[in-house]
Amino acid sequence: MKKILPKNRHVFVQIISYLYILLFVYTAISKLLDFENFGIQLAQSPLLSAYAGFIAPFVIITELLIVLLLCFKVTRLKGLYASLFLMVAFTIYIYLILNYSDFIPCSCGGIIEKLSWTEHLFFNIGFIALALVAIVWTEKGKGTRTTNIILKSVLPSLMAAGVVVALFLSSEHIIKKENNFIRRFSQHPIRDEKAFDLGVDSYYFAGIASGQVYLGNVTAPLVLTSIDTALTTTKAVKIRLDDTTHPFRSIRIKVKAPYFYVYDGSVPVIYRGQLGDSLARTVSYADAYFSQLEVIDSLNFAFRTQSAETKAQVLGSLRLDRDPKVTLHHELLEKQVDGMFDTDGQLLRDDMTGELVYIYFYRNEFLVMDSSLHLTQRLHTIDTISRAQVQVRSLSDGRHKMDAPPLQVNKRSAVHNRVLFNESNLMGKFESREMWQKAAVIDMYRTDRQEYPGSFYVHHRGSHKMTRMIVTDKYFFVLSGNEIVRYRFAQPVTRHFIETGDAENLEQSRQQH
């Protein structure tokens, strides 16, 4: 047995080495074949953008050198240690991107292109375990003491982690800067009332109607879940589509009573079903492709798409009872850099007034439009970033990609009763950096005039940050981790809402016109 075991260990070490050789050769060649794009992806990284010109060739050369070390028995152990060092560095980098970065760039190179960042994290951890097993078995075969093996494995790992953490701490794109504007924080504008554990963290808000909060689920795209606003009981309905032959990519659900809508903008299809029923029938097909959709009424929609002519983002309306059905409004979104990335933002609809709002991600501006997408207001957030700080590079194959992490001004928003609630990404003057690490900052803006009523904090739930929000006259609901959390508005917030009756009259008037 003692003679067989070393031989088996040797074979196993060879297999692990071949796996690393295959991995590094594949990823290095993939990066070399698309080196221009790989450089762009590194430049987008919040941790590595300042060093992209150096790191891009360094990573490829390092991977190929490790392959050479692994190919020969004499240098194989050194190759395994080098593999461990590189994989630990990659893994720490991914962990920091997933947990501490406000901007998650594209993945880079080879098989990694096919994996999500979380899947890539577990993939790397698996390869780290394989490297450690191979190192231990090789060192044991040479008679190395266990304490020496631990030291020789741990020290390079700590060094790799230290290098990446140092890059993280030095990155100006990760650390929020103080900006030359001052927020006003009201006294106790919201009160944390209740939380409900949903079990998973893949939900998003689909809408609110008749005392029910409706939730979609990205991992179960055809399940519509409702929970009463008291956060006591839930009900799930499996939606049936009258046509399931389309090549869906990302199905979403939106609720506007008395209907729910199912759509996937990568496929030009919209389904409509009655709340309380499970069947959704096709109401629009081959009318428009879109990246965002808002329901105006049962036959009318507002959407965002990419212009086939200019390749820029454009807002449009889809009216199923008219011909032509689609109208594009090229004049609304103003190009500053490229018309695509610089105009990125979020399209919202105020269910109380029927107004549409489009807030830019990378500049201090939002548009207010009526239900026909006629511009009524062009308003601003309180920060000073009036021009999108987006760097775009044109690749040789005609594609356009961001050349560096953009400075994101606005993260996510909701609108209700002529008040826009916006999670800001910029720290104001005299604000506590410690507080920014514990909570999200929500700024409020009137949508009928240029007015900033104030701001409030939404505290993280342990390690979980707010990921979604939706608003009613009384409540501010957020999704955080597995939980849906209900906050109650106080008078400093609700006094900025218009009267419910006035809002309903305004909505009816808009629909008549």
Q: What percent of the chain has pLDDT over 70?
A: 86
pLDDT at 67: 94
pLDDT at 375: 97
Of the listed ranges 117-126, 291-300, 440-449, the least confidently predicted one is: 117-126
How confident is the model over 331-351, as pLDDT tens digits?
999 999 888 889 999 999 999
How confident is the model over 33-80, as pLDDT tens digits?
877 667 666 665 666 665 666 777 888 899 999 999 999 989 999 999
Based on C-alpha coordinates, what's the Rg of the chain?
Answer: 26
Mean pLDDT of the 420-435 span: 88
- How much is the pTM? 0.70
Positive or negative: CA dihedral 422, 424, 428, 431: positive
pLDDT at 513: 47
Q: Long-range contacts made by residues 307-312, C-beta under 8 angstroms, separation at least 24?
A: 310/339, 311/339, 311/340, 311/400, 312/338, 312/339, 312/340, 312/343
Predicted confidence band of residue 106 (pLDDT cuts 50, 70, 90): low
The residue ranking higher by pLDDT, 156 or 293, is 293
b/e map 82-110, b = 16+ CB within 10 Å: bbbbbbbbbbbbbbbbeeebebebebbbb
Q: How many CA atoms lie within 13 A of 454 on its CB side?
A: 16
Residue 129 has pLDDT above 90, yes or no: yes
Return d(Cα 76, Cα 263) in angstroms, integer: 53
Residue 204 neighbours by CB distance under 10 Å: 14
Instruction: Find, among 407, 211, 399, 182, the residue nearest to 311 by Cα.
Output: 399
Residue 2 neighbours by CB distance under 10 Å: 5
DSSP of 126-149: HHHHHHHHHHHHHHHHTT--HHHH
Cα–Cα–Cα angle for 194, 196, 198, nearest 5°?
160
Predicted confidence band of residue 108 (pLDDT cuts 50, 70, 90): low
